[in-house]
Structure 1
Amino acid sequence: MAKPEDIIKVDLIGTAIALEVFRDYIGNGGAGLVISSQAGHMIPFAADFEKQLAQVPADELSDLAEIKAVDNSGYAYGMAKRANIVRVQHEAILWGDKGARINTVSPGIIITPLARHELQAQPESYARMIEASATGRTGTPDEVARAGEFLLSDDSSFITGTDLLIDGGVMAAIKAGRYQLGM
């Protein structure tokens, strides 16, 4: 995994900048999609900090004390992905004023080259997570793509500001007590 400061720059601030820029150009009937992660559902943050993640201008995010204090890559990633989710929820109102929609998708363990590398680094932990999930398997890039295609289509014209969790039921397993983080 990358250094915490790089994760913050790319996954958190970079996404916030992109959302601000695209908001200026999106038109009536437009739709946007941000890729977040199930990691954005795994770390609880205080409501006031989530509000800051959602609303502070992109060029001021790095000034937040909570962001300056991040020194762990996993925590930085979870924070960045949570920021993506709450920022899109806020942006949905602004995009809606222009007749446009925006959503996030939060994939879980999707088999890609990066995921294979992560799985090899912590095979026991990921195996337990997959086994505890509702589906008992990993996802595919095609499954994420089809979900994104739906959210960008007119078939989802009443869906905005929503995060679609595509994790095979991992978060359900955590909430049901079937899997505990850090096991």
Structure 2
Amino acid sequence: MTGRPGVVVITGSGGMGTAVARRIGAGRTVLLADASAPALERAAAALRDEGHQVLTQVVDVSDAASVKELAERAAATGRAGAVVHTAGVSAVTSTVERVLRVDLLGTALVIEAFEAVAEPGTSVVCVASMAGHLARLTPGQERDLATTPSGDLLSLDVVRRVPPHDTVGAYVLAKRANQIRAQAAALAYNRAGARISTISPGVVSTAMARAEQQGATGEQMMASLKACGIGRPGTPGELAAAVAFLTGPDSRYLTGTDLLLDGGQAAWMRWHAGFGTGPA
């Protein structure tokens, strides 16, 4: 098993995904996946120009068969040492239905598909969001979101009750589900000698974040960065450094948990801005 070539699987070819590829992909095959073939090929070409070995696959993370094909190709290509799920959509530029299908269901499908091919040393990191720490859910709702089979997730009452135009509410719900679903999956990954975690960034300077800044919540977003004291967004490189830790040898005893990477925004919101985190 140790003689098999190393593979890094990355979903999402945007700023976060390419930063992660540059940080942890050297010397390994990068299997890069995205829903957009043109975006995928642009990112792959840039990485290849820098010396990375890159394979590509068009994947719809909201489709179980598509995600399963990605996991099976990764297993056939080599030893998947790292699986980093960055693919997602934003509340500002999407619809409630798409947020729930991509950010909620898509992450659940990735967790399940790679659980089936996980082997000793595999580390899965799903990019959630600081927003998940602001969710106000009951213990029962959290249990349902964490453990319900993926095929039934979108039928849960807590999901169906999201108002049709509340994209922010859908996003918060989805990202909280990402965090707790990874926690619930940690037992199965441990039994395979693997591990799984989430990373919850605040504002990271990517094309998606810049689009959000132009939306209705952009001014509030930037004001919170100032109010919490950090005064700036994070960089894709900072996120990639955290992912390198979560997928590297120094975190072998870390699984089933979330790393909050937000410059202190969530702490400011909870303790200084009056945003509670208990049940509604």
Matches within 5 A, 1:12-31: 12-31=104-123
Corresponding position of 2:250: 155
Stretches (4+) displaced over 4 A: none
Matches within 5 A, 1:46-61: 46-61=138-153
Q: Deviations over 1:39-70 (max 9, x none)?
A: 11112111111111110000011121111121
* Unmatched segments (≥5 aa) in structure 1: none
Greater strand share, structure number: 2
Q: CA RMSD in A?
A: 1.2
Q: TM-score, normalised by structure 1?
A: 0.94
Task: After TM superposition, give the deviation of residue 120 of structure 1 in Å.
Answer: 2.1
Greater helix share, structure number: 1
Q: TM-score, normalised by structure 2?
A: 0.62
Whole-angstrom CA distance in 1 between matches of 2:211 and 2:199: 22
Whole-angstrom CA distance in 1 between matches of 2:126 and 2:204: 16
Matches within 5 A, 1:109-120: 109-120=203-214
Corresponding position of 1:140: 235
Whole-angstrom CA distance in 1 between matches of 2:230 and 2:221: 14
Q: Is the 8 A contact 1:134 1:172 kept in 2?
A: no
Whole-angstrom CA distance in 2 between matches of 1:125 and 1:173: 14
Whole-angstrom CA distance in 2 between matches of 1:102 and 1:155: 14
In the alignment of these two chains, the number of paired residues is 180
If asked which structure has higher relative contact order (CA below 8 Å, sep 6+), I would say 1
Of 90-99 and 114-123, the range deviating more from structure 2: 114-123
Larger Cα-atom Rg:
2
Task: After TM superposition, give the deviation of residue 172 of structure 1 in Å.
Answer: 1.2
Whole-angstrom CA distance in 1 between matches of 2:136 and 2:227: 21
Whole-angstrom CA distance in 2 between matches of 1:23 and 1:74: 29
* Unmatched segments (≥5 aa) in structure 2: 1-92, 276-280
Percent identity between the aligned chains? 38
Note if 1:74 corresponds to 2:74: no
